[in-house]
Amino acid sequence: MDGMFATIWLKERDQWGQFPPATKQFGVPAEQRYRLWHVQYQIFINRASLLKWDGHQFSGFRGIGLSAPPGYVAKIKLEELGVLASGSYTASEGFKLVALDRLEGYVVEKLIGLQTIYRIPTELRNRISYIKEPLFNADWHLVFSHQFMSDHAEIAQGVWDGLADVPMEERQAIFQRYSDLYSLDVDREIQ
């Protein structure tokens, strides 16, 4: 693989990929001009849940746990907060367990979550909502392999510079149009 997106920077990810210049602080929007988008990782819950998140800590936690897709930063965050469920679930599995009240929550980027919810049976979909306060916000980046950077550093930098030339407002507008196409109805439905 020469590159991949969308990826959130973590120090350990530097081992397998080259991130755009100066993006090396998770949660700090350094060199925002190189990011693809700024996104929210929502906590999807059962409508009957009493789970709350104030941006710093959970209340109403029953001890069942929350989950996120394997390999996601969200899973690391849940573990750090001491609320990670013992099982590992794909988004589709996680949402079904949330709907059946066998998992307290599932964390994924909002658009991905809404698209996944759209594909599960309506009777389950109608049991899911999300907490307004996201677990965290993050910048998504285009990452190149070290081999590609070694062989084509100028091309990679040119791609990043080309991205930086697109005003942030235009990038967010593109992301919002894409979001609206696939998620507006589901978002209204589960709120």
| Angstrom distances, CA of residue 23 to CA of 26, 35, 102, 138, 163 | 8, 8, 37, 11, 14
CATH of the domain at 142: 3.40.190.10
Residue-range definition of the domain harbouring residue 116: 3-190
pLDDT of residue 188: 55
pLDDT in tens, 117-132: 988 998 999 999 999 9
Kindly give the residue spans of alpha helices, DSSP state H, lying in 35-145: 73-81, 91-99, 110-118, 122-125
Q: Three-state DSSP class for 65?
A: coil
Residue 172: its pLDDT value, please? 80
Structural domains in the chain (count)? 1
- For the chain, the C-alpha Rg in angstroms (whole number) is 18
- Is residue 136 within 8 A of residue 27, CB to CB? The reply is yes
Can you give the pLDDT at residue 29? 42
108 and 91 in contact (C-beta within 8 Å)? yes
> Among candidates 34, 47, 61, 62, which has minimal Cα distance to 161?
34
| Predicted local confidence at residue 98, as pLDDT | 97
pLDDT at 111: 87
C-alpha closest to that of 144 among 154, 129, 132: 154
Report residues of the chain scoring pLDDT below 70.
22-30, 179-191
Asked if residues 134 and 112 have their Cβ atoms less than 8 Å apart, the reply is no
